[in-house]
C-alpha cells in the first residue's frame, strides 16, 4: 500500500509537469516556424554559398567536381523562380527585412529576374552533366565575349540562350541577375 501511494503521488506530480512541458514544446514549435523573411534569408545564404563554390571551380581555386558543381547549381535553381517569387508575396515591408516595397509595384520585373536566375542555374546544372571530368574550353568565356551588362547592352532571352552559351558566361549572367535584383529590390541599411 505504501508503494502504491508513492506511485500515485509521483504520478500526480509528474503528469502535470509532462502536460505543461508538452504544451510549451507545442507552443515553441509553432512560434519557431520560420517566417518568409527567415526563409528568404536562408535561401539567399544558400545561393551565395553555392555561387562561391561554382566561382572557385571556375577560378581553379578549388578542384572541379562535377557533382559538387551540379549540386551548387541545383541549390540556386531550387531557391529561384517561383519559389523565390512566392517568398516575397505581399511581404516587401516586413520589419527587419531588406526587401523593398517596390517588389510589389514592379512584380513583373522581380518575377522575371527570379525566373532568369533559375534558367542560368539550370544551364550550369546541364554543363556539369556534359563535363564530368573537367571544365573544358567550351565551358569558358572566349576573349571577345561581352558580359552583356550596362545600359547599352543587348537584352538577352535567358530561356532561349542560356544553354547555348558557355557555362562561365551563364554563371556571370546569373551573378548579374543577382546584382540587378539587389540593386532594384533590396534596401541597404543606412
- Which domain covers residue 121, as residue numbers? 35-185
Cα separation values, 141 from 98, 159, 174, Å: 33, 19, 14
pLDDT at site 157: 72
Whether 135 is covered by a domain: the verdict is yes
Same domain, 83 and 134: yes
SS3 54: helix
Burial class (CB in 10 A: 0-12, 13-18, 19+), 83: middle
Same domain, 15 and 70: no
Same domain, 29 and 102: no
Same domain, 1 and 62: no
Residues 6+ apart with CB under 8 A from 37: 91, 94, 96, 97, 99
Same domain, 6 and 75: no
Same domain, 27 and 112: no
pLDDT at site 89: 86
Same domain, 177 and 111: yes
Same domain, 111 and 26: no
Same domain, 19 and 72: no
Same domain, 42 and 134: yes
Tell the residue number behind the cell numbers 563554390, with chain if given: 53
Same domain, 40 and 15: no
pLDDT at site 95: 67
Going residue by residue through the chain (190 aa), what tens digit of pLDDT does each one get? 555 555 445 444 444 444 444 433 433 333 443 478 889 999 999 999 999 999 999 999 999 999 999 999 999 999 999 999 999 887 555 666 788 989 999 999 999 999 999 999 999 999 999 999 999 899 998 765 554 444 434 456 777 777 789 999 999 999 999 999 999 999 887 6
CATH number at residue 116: 1.20.120.10
pLDDT at site 1: 52
Q: Is the pTM of this model over 0.85?
A: no
Amino acid at each position: 500500500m505504501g508503494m502504491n501511494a508513492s506511485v500515485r503521488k509521483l504520478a500526480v506530480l509528474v503528469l502535470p509537469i509532462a502536460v505543461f512541458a508538452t504544451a510549451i514544446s507545442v507552443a515553441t514549435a509553432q512560434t519557431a516556424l520560420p517566417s518568409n523573411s527567415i526563409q528568404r534569408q536562408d535561401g539567399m545564404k544558400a545561393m551565395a554559398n553555392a555561387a562561391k563554390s561554382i566561382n572557385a571551380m571556375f577560378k581553379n581555386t578549388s578542384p572541379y567536381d562535377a557533382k559538387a558543381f551540379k549540386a551548387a547549381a541545383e541549390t540556386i535553381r531550387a531557391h529561384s523562380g517561383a519559389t523565390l517569387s512566392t517568398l516575397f508575396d505581399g511581404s516587401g515591408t516586413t520589419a527587419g527585412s531588406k526587401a523593398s516595397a517596390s517588389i510589389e509595384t514592379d512584380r513583373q520585373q522581380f518575377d522575371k529576374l527570379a525566373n532568369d536566375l533559375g534558367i542560368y542555374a539550370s544551364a550550369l546544372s546541364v554543363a556539369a552533366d556534359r563535363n564530368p571530368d573537367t571544365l573544358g574550353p567550351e565551358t569558358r568565356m572566349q576573349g571577345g565575349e561581352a558580359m552583356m551588362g550596362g545600359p547599352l547592352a543587348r537584352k538577352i532571352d535567358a530561356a532561349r540562350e542560356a544553354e547555348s552559351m558557355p557555362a562561365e558566361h551563364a554563371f556571370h549572367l546569373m551573378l548579374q541577375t543577382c546584382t540587378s535584383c539587389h540593386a532594384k529590390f533590396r534596401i541597404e541599411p543606412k
